[in-house]
């Protein structure tokens, strides 16, 4: 990779978001100067962080993940393969800082689900489905069968538990599939499918992350189902009075993702609120010191998240991989880049994006300005998904596996359209306040139905992109906007947040599958034209000098 090119690419992805926010600031949604300055400063840090992170992923995470996947498969020992994948998935997810935060919040809010049990349940569910996803590649179980069955079961269970638990389940899955876990899972799947012979091998290169994400939702719904089944009456009564307050904290702080103990979130909000009056310090200095103050905590979180992965790679290197020296140097350098990049990224996103998002949402949620929410949601959704780190990793890998056939911009555009629709619909729902199921159920059924007519490669990319789209940028910028809007328009933040995350998870699979169908149709047309042309050329050649043309026309 080329660091300069990476940086200019990520700048291209983030700058439009900054422009939109500034445009909103000068037109209809003025926010405090401090917030704006720290947003811009945050965005700059995010650009550098994202660029460096992507460089590290290219150097370390993707190669080591796929080498491990390939080496495991070559052992031809199915129980050992599945067990290793399960263990790797479990350990890496367990270390995800987002998930711990999510667990603490859910414990403080529900009182029914403990933090530890949530973290363990989600990690186990995710790891189990990750192993299932790998096993599927080896045993050649059709992808859509697994998707339809597991999502079907999840939805069936979800319709029987309280919406708040469903919200928690989706949020937990979003928290667990972070920018570190996703690239590694994608690479692992690539590695396993890469050692498979046969021309269909590429079809299986993706999809593992999509399955793993269901695992997390599945585990949480089962847990909620078991708990609410056992304590039906008490659960119902206890959830009603506290629901309003509790759910607010739940989702607002979920948005705070990596940063936050709950009081940390309050500090952030309070800090930006009362910084207005005391004009003595310059907003620039304030933004800078806020960034600096957030740095150590992010450094610690990222270290905790990255350490198990590094240990895992070292372990596999010792036992199975035995990479040569230059390769090892690259991986070590790459891990270092990943660390630096992630620390910068989270520092910028958490200190810069969340306050700005919340303030804008609150202003826009006022009845007089609500008309802008739907179009703004569409635009923000489309732009923000292009800033998701894991999204970049996915599209880059797709381009590589398809040998440049499915280009990054095309895929990003399709996901952006999907997310735009999802966020727009969610905003509409926030304004109108109807049940999320009216949007969610048809969207899900459509996504399921499309799997039967979409080319296989696109089905697996589609469901991966769904879980990838719900990353740290959407939870630090779109979610606060939605929640702010929900607060000031009198909605219920808990279920609104759920609506948003679930919609972002389900709309990209639809748009990507539609892209796949279009792509396939075009390819077939081109193929027919090419065949006709070759036939013509062949005939012409035979007519002129009788020799057969070599196979130069095929691409």
Partner 1 sequence: MTYTAIIYAVVGHGIAEKMAADLRQKGSLGGTILVGRETRDSVFLRFLSIADAERDILLTLVTEEQLEPMLNAVRSYPIAHARDAGIVFTIRTGGSNMTQETDHELISVIVNRGYADDIMEAARTAGARGGTILHARGTGKPDDEKFFGITIVPEKEQVLILAERDKAPAIREAIEQLPCLDTPGIGILYTMPVEHFAQLGPST
**Does the footprint of partner 1 cover residue 8 (CB under 8 A)?**
no
79 contributes a contact to partner 1 by CB under 8 A: no
How many residues touch partner 1 under the rule CB under 8 A: the total is 48
Site membership for partner 1, residue 310 (CB under 8 A): no
- Our finding on whether 7 is near partner 1 (CB under 8 A) is no
Asked if 413 interacts with partner 1 (CB under 8 A), we say: no
**What is the sign, positive or negative, of the torsion defined by CA atoms of 305, 310, 316, 318?**
negative
> What's the full length of the chain, in residues?
555
Our CB check for partner 1 shows the closer of 67 and 95 to be 67
Q: Which residue, 318 or 555, has its beta carbon nearer to partner 1?
A: 555
For position 26 contacting partner 1 by CB under 8 A, the verdict is: no
Tokens of 477: 């910028």
SS (H, E, C) 255-291: HCHHHCCHHHHHHHHHHHHHCCCCCCCCHHHHHHHHH
Which residue of 333, 413, 431, 446 would you call a contact of partner 1, by CB under 8 A? 333
Binding of partner 1 at residue 527 (CB under 8 A)? Answer: no
325 binds partner 1 (CB under 8 A): yes
Which of 130, 132, 128, 138 is CA-nearest to residue 204?
138
> Tokens standing for 268?
């952030």
Q: Verify binding: residue 183, partner 1, rule CB under 8 A.
A: no
Candidates 55, 147, 354, 382: give the one binding partner 1 (CB under 8 A). Answer: 55
Among 1, 15, 20, 413, binds partner 1 (CB under 8 A): 1
Comparison of 277 and 404: residue with beta carbon closer to partner 1: 404
Stretch binding partner 1 (CB under 8 A), from 10-18, 149-157, 252-260, 324-332: 324-332
Least distance (Å) between residue 138 CB and partner 1:
5
Write down the least CB distance from residue 85 to partner 1, Å.
Answer: 15
Residue 198 in the binding site for partner 1 (CB under 8 A): yes
Given 103, 194, 411, 456, the residue binding partner 1 (CB under 8 A): 194
Distance CA 298, CA 319 (A): 32
Q: Is 285 exposed, middle or buried (0-12, 13-18, 19+ CB in 10 A)?
A: exposed
Largest Cα–Cα separation, the chain: 89
Among the candidate windows 103-111, 138-146, 205-213, 254-262, which touches partner 1 by CB under 8 A? 138-146
Q: Which is nearer to partner 1, 160 or 535 (CB)?
A: 535
Considering the complex, what minimum distance in angstroms separates the CB of residue 87 from partner 1?
21
Residue 535 near partner 1 by CB under 8 A: no
Q: Does 138 bind partner 1 (CB under 8 A)?
A: yes
Residue 28 found at the interface with partner 1 (CB under 8 A) = no
The phi and psi torsions of 473 (rounded to 5 degrees) equal -75, -40
Minimum gap (Å) between residue 328 Cβ and partner 1: 10
- For position 58 contacting partner 1 by CB under 8 A, the verdict is yes
76 is an interface residue for partner 1 by CB under 8 A = yes
- Residue 360: DSSP 8-state: H
Out of 11, 15, 148, 195, point to the residue binding partner 1 (CB under 8 A): 195
Distance CA 472, CA 357 (A): 13
Binding to partner 1 by residue 555, rule CB under 8 A?
yes
Site mask, partner 1, residues 266-305, x = CB under 8 A?
A: ----------------------------------------
CA distance 188 to 136: 13
Q: What is the DSSP secondary-structure string of 415-474?
A: HHHHHHHHHHHHHHHHHH---THHHHHHHHHHHHHHTTTS-HHHHHHHHHHHHHHSSHHI
CB of 298: closest distance to partner 1 in angstroms? 23
**Spatial contact of 418 and 410, defined as CB atoms under 8 Å apart:** no
In the numeric block, the tokens 């709309």 are attached to: 507
- Closest approach, Cβ 84 to partner 1, in A, equals 15
- Do 51 and 396 contact (CB within 8 A), yes or no? no
Q: Does 97 bind partner 1 (CB under 8 A)?
A: no
| Residue 32 φ/ψ region, left for φ over 0, alpha for ψ in the -120 to 50 degree band, beta for the rest | beta
The answer for residues whose C-beta is within 8 angstroms of residue 454's C-beta and 6 or more apart is 462, 513, 516, 517, 520
Using the minimum distance from each CB to partner 1, give the nearer residue, 108 or 327.
327
Told to check if 488 binds partner 1 by CB under 8 A, we report no
Which of 114, 148, 330, 413 lies at the binding interface for partner 1 (CB under 8 A)?
330
Question: Which tokens is 141 given?
Answer: 């179980």
Determine which helix (DSSP H) or strand (DSSP E) holds 90, and give its type and residue range: helix 78-94
Selected from 12, 78, 293, 319, the binder of partner 1 by CB under 8 A is 78
d(CA 51, CA 156): 41
Nearest-10 crossing angle of helices 232-255, 479-488? 120
Least distance between partner 1 and beta carbon 327 (Å): 5
Interaxial angle between packed helices 325-348 and 33-56, expressed in degrees from 0 to 180 and rounded to the nearest 10: 170
Query: Taking the complex as a whole, how short is the minimal distance between the CB of residue 63 and partner 1, in angstroms?
Result: 8
Instruction: With beta carbons less than 8 A apart as the criterion, state whether 72 and 192 touch.
Output: yes
Q: Please give the residue ranges that form the binding site for partner 1 (CB under 8 A).
A: 1-3, 5, 55, 58-59, 63, 67, 70, 73-74, 76, 78, 138-140, 194-198, 201, 321, 323-327, 329-330, 333-334, 337, 400, 403-404, 537, 541, 544-545, 547, 549-550, 552-555
């Amino acid at each position: 990779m080329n660091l300069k090119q990476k940086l200019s690419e990520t700048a291209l992805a983030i700058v439009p978001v900054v422009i939109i926010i500034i445009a909103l600031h000068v037109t209809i949604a003025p926010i405090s100067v401090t917030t704006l300055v720290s947003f811009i400063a945050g965005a700059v840090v995010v650009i550098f962080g994202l660029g460096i992170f992507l460089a590290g992923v290219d150097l370390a995470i993707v190669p080591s993940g796929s080498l491990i996947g390939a080496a495991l498969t070559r052992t031809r020992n199915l129980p050992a393969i599945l067990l290793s994948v399960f263990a790797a998935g479990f350990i890496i997810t367990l270390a995800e800082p987002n998930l711990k935060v999510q667990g603490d919040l859910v414990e403080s809010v529900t009182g029914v689900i403990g933090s530890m049990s949530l973290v363990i349940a989600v990690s186990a569910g995710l790891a189990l489905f990750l192993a299932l996803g790998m096993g599927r590649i080896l045993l050649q179980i059709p992808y859509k069968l697994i998707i339809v069955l597991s999502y079907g079961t999840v939805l069936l269970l979800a319709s029987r538990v309280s919406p708040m638990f469903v919200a928690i389940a989706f949020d937990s899955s979003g928290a667990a599939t972070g920018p570190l876990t996703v690239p590694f899972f994608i690479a692992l799947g690539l590695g396993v499918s890469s050692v498979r012979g046969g021309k269909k091998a590429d079809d299986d290169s993706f999809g593992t992350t999509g399955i793993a994400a269901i695992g997390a939702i599945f585990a949480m719904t089962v847990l909620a189902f078991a708990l609410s089944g056992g304590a039906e009456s008490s659960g119902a009564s206890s959830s009603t009075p506290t629901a309003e307050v509790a759910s607010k904290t739940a989702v607002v702080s979920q948005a705070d993702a990596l940063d936050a103990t709950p009081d940390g979130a309050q500090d952030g909000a309070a800090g930006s609120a009362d910084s207005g009056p005391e004009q003595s310090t310059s907003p620039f200095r304030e933004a800078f010191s806020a960034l600096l103050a957030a740095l150590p905590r992010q450094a610690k979180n990222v270290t905790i998240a990255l350490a198990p992965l590094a240990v895992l790679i070292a372990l596999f290197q010792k036992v199975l991989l035995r990479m040569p020296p230059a390769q090892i140097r690259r991986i070590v350098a790459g891990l270092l880049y990943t660390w630096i990049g992630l620390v910068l990224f989270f520092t910028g996103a958490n200190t810069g994006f969340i306050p700005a998002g919340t303030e804008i949402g609150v202003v826009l949620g006022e009845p007089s300005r609500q008309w802008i929410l739907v179009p703004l949601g569409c635009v923000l959704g489309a732009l923000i998904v292009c800033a998701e780190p894991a999204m970049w990793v996915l599209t880059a890998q797709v381009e590589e596996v398809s040998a440049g056939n499915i280009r990054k911009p095309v895929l990003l555009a399709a996901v952006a359209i999907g997310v735009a629709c999802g966020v727009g619909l969610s905003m509409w729902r926030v304004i109108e306040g109807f049940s999320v199921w009216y949007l969610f159920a048809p969207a899900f059924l459509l996504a399921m139905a499309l799997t039967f007519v979409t080319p296989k490669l696109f089905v697996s990319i589609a469901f991966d992109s769904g879980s990838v789209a719900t990353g740290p940028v959407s939870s630090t910028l779109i979610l606060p906007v939605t929640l702010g809007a929900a607060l000031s328009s009198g909605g219920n933040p808990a279920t609104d947040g759920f609506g948003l995350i679930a919609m972002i998870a389900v709309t990209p699979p639809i748009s990507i599958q539609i892209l796949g169908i279009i792509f396939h149709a075009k390819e077939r047309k081109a193929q027919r034209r090419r065949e006709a042309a070759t036939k013509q050329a062949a005939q012409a050649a035979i007519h002129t000098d009788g020799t057969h043309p070599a196979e130069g026309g095929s691409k």
